[in-house]
Amino acid sequence: MAEVKIASKLRDTAVKSILISQPEPDKNSPYFEIAKKYGIKLDFRKFIQVDGVTPREFRKQKVNILDHTAIIFTSRNAIDHYFRICEETRIQMPQTTKYFCTSESIALYLQKYIQYRKRKVFFGTGRLASLLELLKKHKEEKFLYPCSDVRKDDLPDFLTTNNMLFSEAVLYKTVASDLSDLSDIKYDMLVFFSPSGIKSLYINLPDFEQGATRLATFGPTTLKAVEEANLIADIKVPSPELPSMTLAIEKYLDKVNK
């Protein structure tokens, strides 16, 4: 799924400008090396933003945090909004609460809010499968899964299939950013990393027509969203040969920017 090819003669032209649908990275990012190498205009803009639910919205979900003995975190956003809600609703977590995280970096982020102790913080390798193996070893816990209103089914399905006690709490929402100022600006390439980015594109630019604009997608769900919108993805990653978006873009530019 990750070959880089010229999709049609309509877009068989040099790329002079690229819009990345993410916040601007630090100056050492390989994106800036690409921009310098090919002399292209490179901009970054978040197509989606995260808004936390209010305490009132949270209470409507009828989830009692203190009924749970373990919390599952799959992102830093989940951690931030979980402890925000705890503070706003005046909930103090007991010292015995266990925390399960998808990766060590997410687990270490907990230090922002709690005293980190190995006996109560568990983490996987970054892959969901490793987290699920950890959860299997603690089936006696009652889990709380703080999440966004947009989330994958893998984790809840696993917990249900294995008859584990758990609750979900939607603590933040993924919404479209305001991109109205881009309505008259054209880019040769748009780069997307999530289906929400495609949704935001059409919320902000409902009359968007692809034409000569190249689209780059990361991940199968983003590619599916592009195809469902009847658009063409010129760059599709990752793959064993092209594991990163920067490598894929560079390979594509080698073909069209001659």
Domain's final residue, options 174, 200, 229: 174
Instruction: Please give the angle made by the CA atoms of 63, 98 and 130, to the nearest 5 degrees.
Output: 100
Work out how many domains the chain is built from and give that number: 2
Contact 160, 89 (CB under 8 A): no
**Which two three-digit tokens encode residue 148?**
């966004």
Tokens 């978040």, residue located: 46
Q: What is the CATH number of the domain that holds 196?
A: 3.40.50.10090
pLDDT digits (tens, 9 = 90+) for 91-144: 998 989 999 999 999 999 999 999 877 679 999 998 888 899 999 999 999 999
Give yes or no: residues 198 and 249 share one domain: yes
Residue 9 is assigned to a structural domain of this protein: no
Contact 20, 34 (CB under 8 A): no
Give yes or no: residues 95 and 69 share one domain: yes
Residue 11 is assigned to a structural domain of this protein: no
C-alpha distance across the termini of the chain, in Å: 25
pLDDT tens-place values along the chain, 258 residues long: 344 444 556 667 899 999 999 999 998 999 999 999 999 999 999 999 889 999 999 999 999 999 999 999 999 999 999 999 999 999 998 989 999 999 999 999 999 999 877 679 999 998 888 899 999 999 999 999 999 987 888 899 999 998 999 999 999 998 889 888 887 778 999 999 999 999 999 999 998 989 899 999 999 999 999 999 999 999 999 888 889 999 999 999 999 998
Give yes or no: residues 29 and 99 share one domain: no
Domain's final residue, options 113, 146, 174: 174
pLDDT digits (tens, 9 = 90+) for 236-252: 998 888 899 999 999 99
| Amino acid at residue number 146 | P
Full residue range of the structural domain in which residue 160 is found: 52-174
